[in-house]
Amino acid sequence: MHEVAQLPWGVALAYLVAGVLFIFALRGLSSPATSRAGNRYGMAGMGIAIATTLYTHDVVALPEIIGAIAIGGVIGFITARRIAMTDMPQLVAAFHSLVGMAAVVVGAAAYLSPAAFGIADPATGEIFAASRIEMGLGVAIGAITFSGSVIAFLKLNGNMSGKPILLPMRHVINLGTLLGILGLVAYFTQDQAPWVFWTVTALSFLIGFLLIIPIGGADMPVVVSMLNSYSGWAAAAMGFTLGNTAMIITGALVGSSGAILSYIMCKAMNRGFLSVIAGGFGAEAAVSGGEAKEQRPWKRGSADDAAFLMQQAESVIIVPGYGMAVSQAQHALREMGDLLKKEGVSVKYAIHPVAGRMPGHMNVLLAEANVPYDEVFELEDINSEFSQADVAFVIGANDVTNPAAKTDKTSPIYGMPILEVANAKSVLFVKRSMGGVGYAGVDNDVFYMDNTMMLLADAKKMVEDIVKALAH
């Protein structure tokens, strides 16, 4: 046990206030109406934390620090203004990597200059044993967050194939590396030699990379949530090193937030967290899906057919998926919804929790296109309404509508909760071609139903054509 440098009570209180404001920031997100106030609380908390730190330390390097904040701030602000909403998953991954890297450099700075952080014995200059563990873990988690997020970014941004990359013996290699890191962190308490610290850092960068390469593109919602969680734990570990309550509270909040999101995503795919993390999902399924290709009859429709069908309908439920994001069809889709509403058709949107590449991805895109959020429904709130709906309009979603998840025990997606579009009187299915199967590599029975009409085209193009057909 050690005493971290005693903070004056006013300072400790200021950090606590910052931590509480961060709690309010998350609390605000319980409803879109209060969310913006929440975001302001978050900003205030951050302002207090930064001001307090600068106020309580001998800041010799103030011009440099202000310069550093200005550089980072301008880069961050411009990126945030310019980024397309469809690129949000990449942006979040990139931001995660920065938190990870910041944790690594803070850990390294604390290791090189422990006296500045008050974590060294003033007599011997040795770092306290407890601080070494916290520092070692903080750097390790930070490095994993960094390299893992970089890979996630490359996969989401399309610089790297979304297909899982499977190394031979990967489980053995990964487990060995993880144990090596833990062993070295334990050894670090006995010997604070530079090689121990830097080996921990290097191995952690490596394992972050190894952990994410075998995970396929559509499992990215889980990965992004998991890395979100790690970035929190990294901040918490550093908070322990510095005895800083703002960092500890925030770290715990972010850590649990990411963990809960990962859990929700896994549940929505009916897969265990470990099975997702072990990776390789898309690769194995695609191989087995290749053999049982049978030709079944299906119906193809045109934009005019679709427009006619929906005009006659009383209610239409739109089911968007990743394909809508890829072709940026959300604006055209909203126009279509508006035209239908003018004709007196009731229009609702149904969102599956894992649609898209990150939690809530579809909701943001629909919000961007000005779809009011009270027309957008979650899976459990709308699933019973499909049986009364005249048309289910599926756009760029596949696995999340596949009835095989309920009926076929051998299917890789068996047990996954699905949107029951098959119950609607008719189904319009927008898809680029009949050839491609969804991420899980399983054929979808919905394509071949009597009441399904396949609209084969780029999603945005098809919706625009339907809008034209509706307009005249």
- Residue 353 CA to residue 416 CA, distance in Å, equals 11
| 432 touches 472 (CB < 8 A) | no
Tokens, residue 403: 């009835």
Which entry of 219, 399, 443, 465 is annotated as an active-site residue?
Answer: 399
- Using the minimum distance from each CB to other proteins, give the nearer residue, 254 or 455: 254
**How many C-beta neighbours within 10 Å does residue 356 have?**
29
- Residue 362 CA to residue 349 CA, distance in Å, equals 10
- Using the minimum distance from each CB to other proteins, give the nearer residue, 141 or 446: 141
Q: Report the nearest approach of other proteins to the CB of residue 306 (Å).
A: 25
Q: Is 305 a catalytic residue?
A: no
Q: Which of 467, 463, 443, 444 is nearest to 455 (CA)?
A: 463
Q: Report the nearest approach of other proteins to the CB of residue 31 (Å).
A: 6
Q: Report the nearest approach of other proteins to the CB of residue 234 (Å).
A: 7
- Using the minimum distance from each CB to other proteins, give the nearer residue, 78 or 172: 78
- Residue 472 CA to residue 466 CA, distance in Å, equals 10
- Using the minimum distance from each CB to other proteins, give the nearer residue, 247 or 427: 247
Q: Report the nearest approach of other proteins to the CB of residue 63 (Å).
A: 11
**How many C-beta neighbours within 10 Å does residue 284 have?**
14
Q: Report the nearest approach of other proteins to the CB of residue 18 (Å).
A: 7
- Using the minimum distance from each CB to other proteins, give the nearer residue, 205 or 447: 205
| 271 touches 261 (CB < 8 A) | no
**CB neighbour list of residue 316: distance below 8 Å, 6 or more residues apart:** 310, 340, 345, 346, 347, 348, 389, 390, 391, 392, 393
**How many C-beta neighbours within 10 Å does residue 248 have?**
19
Q: Which residues are part of the catalytic machinery?
A: 399
